[in-house]
Structure 1
């Protein structure tokens, strides 16, 4: 084992991976593990198990030997992380913010009915990644996609569909008890606008009153104004049907692997490499310190100290996720040489 460790360390010292573009203007501080609040008390074995979900697909000279060792590791998981990584605090000018997301599950059908009459679309073939396309209003009221056979399923509630689009993945529960699992396929390229922020701007609610249940109830009580509110968000997300993920596993993240409740983070890859372990110190009403893995991204997740915590599947996960909007600190664990390449001595 010592010989294998020596070879891995030699490989790590050979070359540093290029930094992401966002790191050029960031403040970088290398920390010691004893500077991480609660590091000693976490379940490092649980974090290592999640790390292995995506580590094996990292095609990078800095990560490949570490991933090989992780797969063969039989000792304490905490020791593994301390031996091969260094904690790196990456900061920009933005205030740290940590929110949460979940995998919605809503009712629907494979074919349109009187009850289920709102289509869930797959991506049109002419829509290229990153291109600016028609707005939500143009898609939903202009009939642009009618008759093209792009419907995956049909649902009954436009609010639930938009929440599904905001989360980027989910499940449609059919009447026979089976489910259609949806993954993110692309968007129309327009920037997301918050429905809650718009209700506050209109003077209907104050910021501390807004939540997903409040938005849902208001739209249902005010169908005409509610329809107008839903069109306020020009962003529109398209889905693909995911058929190879077992029902007991999480949805696919940005790395095309199942993500894990309370251990997966969505991050900005301009600052945090996908697949990296991240030590999260979340403050707020229910604080926690936990080693998580950066396995996902999100259109709203921008910045060095901005992340989304995956809370799981279903209504209860959604209720809990909607309560998270907290300050704190996240510290990325990077391979040793990669860490010191960001902060050269002297």
Structure 2
């Protein structure tokens, strides 16, 4: 055979040596280990040829994570840890406890189980903790639907009130538990064809369920009377018996006051406080502590709401606070600023209802949630210790409103311009003073590391990164790792976060001054990020791998805090 004849054969042999081996059935088992390094790379990072050879397979896997994802509520762009402002300077150790709190409920999900188990073995060093996040999470930058990068950042806190277990003296304003006549219905369970008409329901515990019957014990419900909000599909309702048994919206604040609280509703009274405006402030914040006569502290948290829009009022502390409890945080009493003024107009925000359109002159740059509360709150001269939190003694058990139906003195009439009313429950567990109240996720909020979000955009429990200016007069840098552990009726939209400052007057001062435009990122477990391009989510762009667009509302459908409507 001539040299010319041998040349093609030789070339075939050399080509076979250069080609990579075909993957075997066991090869995919090692692929996920490379995903963290690949997906954390920003889209404009160096090309695969510039990377170390060991990372080349991961670059191929990274293309499974789309560069851009769109839902009805937000846009998300693939980012990287090197794009987070101040990421290397943030003390990750300060947020590790909040992360481990999130792992409590999240580890029940497959994509979180191994991740949370691995976090338990991470050494308690800043370097190791930072490396853990960089290895296990994919960073997505959150954008508004119009691709703008900033949104509203506000703050909230846990206030301290003054109260006692029984009615008497100036303690005449009841802190109510959930009324027994308050029912709920998930309108998403109503077939789409029936959502614009009249349905029949029957009570099942504290819920209403659909029924085809028309006999006794069933009620007519006209869904055309209700705003069907996809942020919170839970309608709050009451039953009206009689010849035309029907379902009505639950009472507004004005209607509740007209009934003569605590009379008129079958609700437990958790405590009696001396200031209706302090009670209102606690309702807006969603939780609080009540200083009792024996210096013990009763902690209460959000339990339910009456289902009506929240229209905030501006309340400010009185010039002279009460002195009882001077050894710790001092409760403050409040007044409405400009009590003779007309109600403040503005966007109506709800905890479970759709916000009404804001007047044309209203600013869209901020949210009144915190600024309408504690405006001008005093910063204490010193930060004394806080009384120990306790559960009430047996003699201080919640009273039933039916036992003592006497009417409380009327609250300021302007409070009735806010139709929303919040009901509380006593915190069941005895927690350290340093821990915040439980958020919507069910874990204690961590001051400076927990935020309230819109769960349609940011899944509850997930790590986020927040970049915003520090509050006025503060040196606390708000460029840090935070965790989405709470929600709120006023917290709506893609770039919207409410930053938890903690407990007491100083936290209230910081919360009031937190009103900025900020930027936000969300971190998804790598396996979950790779599934964003799955056929269940994608409606356009999957083949290209560049843009994934969903007609759904949830980035992550967790079945609890955000779920897609049934067909």
Q: Equivalents in 1 of 2:178, 2:32: separation in Å?
A: 43
Per-residue CA shift, 1:179-226, capped at 9, x if unaligned? 111011100000101213997984999999965345999xxxxxx998
Q: 2:437 aligns with which of 233, 246, 251?
A: 251
Match of residue 268, structure 2, among 150, 163, 166: 150
Q: Does 1:62 align with 2:111?
A: yes
Q: How does 1:69-88 map to 2 (within 5 A)?
A: 69-74=118-123, 76-88=128-140
Q: CA deviation at 1:64?
A: 1.7
3-state SS of 2:428 partner: coil
The DSSP-based 3-state class of the residue aligned with 2:118 is helix
3-state DSSP of counterpart to 2:413: helix
Segments of structure 1 that go 5 or more residues without pairing to the other structure are 17-21, 218-223
TM-score of the pair, normalised by structure 2: 0.53
Q: In the TM superposition, what are the counterparts of 1:189-204 in structure 2 within 5 Å?
A: 189-196=307-314, 202=342
Relative to 1, partners in 2 of residues 1:6 and 1:310: Cα closer, same or farther, differing over 3 Å?
A: farther
Q: Does the alignment pair 1:107 with 2:162?
A: yes
Runs of 5+ consecutive residues of structure 2 not aligned to the other structure = 1-28, 37-60, 65-69, 185-233, 237-248, 316-335, 346-361, 379-408, 534-541, 547-567
| Counterpart for residue 388 of structure 2 | none
> 8 Å contact 1:99–1:309 — kept in the other structure?
yes
d(CA) in 2 for partners of 1:71, 1:29: 30
Q: 2:451 aligns with which of 265, 268, 275?
A: 265
Conserved in 1, the CA contact under 8 Å of 2:156 and 2:500?
A: yes
State whether structure 2 residue 183 is matched by structure 1 residue 128: yes
Higher relative contact order (CA 8 A, sep 6+): 1
1:320 to 483, 488, 510: 510
Which residue is 2:325 aligned to? none
Q: Is the CA contact (8 Å cut-off) linking 1:99 and 1:307 kept in structure 2? A: yes
Q: Does 1:92 align with 2:144?
A: yes
Q: Provide closer, same or farther for how the CA distance between residues 101 and 178 of structure 1 changes in structure 2, counting only shifts above 3 A.
A: same
1:19 counterpart residue number: none
* Distance in 2 separating the partners of 1:155 and 1:141: 19
Contact residue 99 and residue 321 of structure 1 kept, 8 A: yes
Q: Tell me whether 104-113 or 331-340 shows the greater mean CA deviation.
A: 331-340
Q: 1:203 to 1:154 in 2, by over 3 A?
A: closer
Q: Decide whether the 8 Å contact of 2:257 with 2:410 is kept in 1.
A: no
Distance 1:211 1:271 in 2: 25
Alpha-carbon spacing, 1:177–1:272, altered in 2? closer, same or farther (3 Å): same
Cα distance between partner residues in 2 of 1:86 and 1:97:
24
Q: Kindly state the Cα deviation for residue 153 of structure 1 after the two structures are TM-superposed.
A: 0.5
Partner-residue secondary structure (3-state), 2:490: coil
- Deviation (angstroms), 1:175: 1.2
Kept in 1, the 8 Å contact 2:77–2:141? The answer is: yes
Q: Does 1:228 align with 2:413?
A: yes
Change (3 A) 1:62 1:9: farther
Identify, as 1 or 2, the structure richer in helix.
Answer: 1
Alpha-carbon distance between aligned partners in 1 of 2:86 and 2:343, rounded to the nearest angstrom: 42
Residue of structure 2 in register with 1:42 after alignment = 90
Kindly state the Cα deviation for residue 45 of structure 1 after the two structures are TM-superposed. Answer: 1.9
- Give the equivalent residue in structure 2 for 1:221: none
Q: Counterpart of 1:302 in 2: which secondary structure?
A: coil
Equivalence for 1:303: 493
| Secondary structure of 1:332's aligned partner | strand
Tell whether the 8 Å contact from 1:138 to 1:144 is kept in structure 2 after alignment. no
Q: Which residue of 2 aligns with 1:170?
A: 288
TM-score by length of 1: 0.85
1:335 aligns with 2:525: yes
Aligned residue in 2 for 1:275: 461
CA distance in 1, matches of 2:302, 2:375: 26
Residues 261 and 311, structure 1, Cα contact 8 Å, conserved in 2? yes
Task: Give 1:119's aligned residue.
Answer: 174
Q: Matched residues in 2 for 1:160 and 1:7: separation? A: 56
Q: State the distance in 2 between where 1:333 and 1:84 align.
A: 9
Contact (CA 8 Å) 1:8, 1:65: kept in 2 or not?
Answer: no
CA RMSD of aligned residues (A): 3.4
- Cα distance, 1:89 vs. partner? 1.3
Larger Rg: 2
Structure 1 counterpart of 2:422: 237
Aligned residues: 329
